[in-house]
C-alpha cells in the first residue's frame, strides 16, 4: 500500500500526504504503515460489539493510530 501511494505521487509532499487517511481492521497492518510512513493518518476500524472499549485497548491503539472508527 505504501509503495503504491508513493508510486502514484500521493506522498510526494506533506500537503498531499496530509489528505490521506488509511483505515483498517488489521492492527498489524496499521503498525507497519506507521513504521514506514509515520506522516500518514491512520484509523483503527473496530467491530461494533455494544461493549465499551477497554482503556488499555484504547491506549494500545493510540500508539499507532490517530483515531478509531
Residues 2-60 pLDDT 10s: 999 999 998 888 888 889 999 999 999 999 999 999 999 999 999 988 889 999 999 99
How far is 24 from 8, CA to CA, in rounded Å? 20
Nearest one of 3, 67, 68 to 33, comparing CA atoms: 3
- The per-residue pLDDT for 17 is 85
What's the rounded Cα separation, in Å, for the pair 65 and 27? Answer: 9
- Helix, strand, coil percentages (3-state) for the chain, rounded to 5, are 40, 15, 45
Sheet holding 67-68, edge to edge: 21-24, 41-44, 67-68
Tell me which residue has cell 503498525. 31
What is the reported pLDDT for 13?
A: 85
Amino acid at each position: 500500500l505504501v509503495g503504491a501511494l508513493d508510486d502514484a505521487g500521493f506522498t510526494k509532499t506533506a500537503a498531499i500526504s496530509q489528505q490521506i487517511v488509511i483505515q483498517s481492521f488489521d492492527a498489524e497492518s496499521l503498525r507497519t504503515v506507521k513504521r514506514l510512513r509515520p506522516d500518514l493518518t491512520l484509523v483503527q476500524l473496530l467491530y461494533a460489539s455494544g461493549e465499551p472499549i477497554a482503556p488499555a485497548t484504547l491506549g494500545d491503539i493510540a500508539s499507532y493510530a490517530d483515531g478509531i472508527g
